[in-house]
Homo-oligomer: A and B are copies of this chain.
């Protein structure tokens, strides 16, 4: 398997969404030019991203929207349900429990964890909050494969260490801290202020150019 860049994978997710919308509109075929235009990138980039995974579509005829979406779903692992644990039931955690996009893509939050005795054993969104101390039992019972970390920065590493010991191999981290994990484990960081800094960079450079 070739090493595929993170940005290629992220664009595949974008193409998947584009195709879903086209299928909703009963569009049967689409060209790389059209996919590119919808997403403000070059058609060469679209073709290159897809070429890593095989040869889809026919020259001059474009791609069949349903077939291509199916292929991308297979590549991204979206043909199955993923059982997800959420750790940290604060503001961000609560917003994520209700985030419809997760469920739509097959990511089902099956377990909630917190370390606050006032929260443990209460329910949010129909799910009971468990003490993080009991993580391994619940991870096993609910067949958890992915964990979302929405705890304060100072607790994030310890929480991940605990869940790695329970066998969890993939983490989406909302805590503003870099997490260390063994080489067979993956962490993706979701730091919402980093995206804002890309905006302030853009605005600052543009002012310089005025």
Known: A17-B176, A208-B1. A201 touches B76 (CB 8 A): yes
- Name A194's contact: one of B13, B99, B191, B204 (CB within 8 Å): B13
Q: Please report whether the interface of chain A is mostly helix, strand, loop or mixed according to DSSP.
A: helix
Q: A107 at interface (Cβ–Cβ under 8 A)?
A: yes
B205 touches A1 (CB 8 A): yes
Closest beta carbon of chain B to A195's beta carbon, Å: 5
Q: How many copies does the complex hold?
A: 2
Q: A14 at interface (Cβ–Cβ under 8 A)?
A: yes
A146 touches B101 (CB 8 A): no
**A209 CA to B184 CA, complexed, in Å:** 12
Q: Which residues on the B side are within 8 Å of A9 (C-beta)?
A: 197-198, 201
B102 touches A192 (CB 8 A): yes
- The contact string, 1 if C-beta is below 8 Å from chain B, for chain A 100-114, is 011011110000000
Sample 27 A-B pairs with CB under 8 A, ordered by A number. A1-B205, A6-B198, A13-B194, A13-B198, A14-B178, A14-B194, A39-B178, A76-B197, A76-B204, A77-B197, A77-B204, A82-B196, A99-B192, A102-B193, A105-B196, A107-B193, A107-B196, A107-B200, A145-B203, A146-B200, A169-B203, A170-B199, A184-B206, A186-B203, A188-B196, A188-B198, A188-B199
Q: Which residues on the B side are within 8 Å of A145 (C-beta)?
A: 203
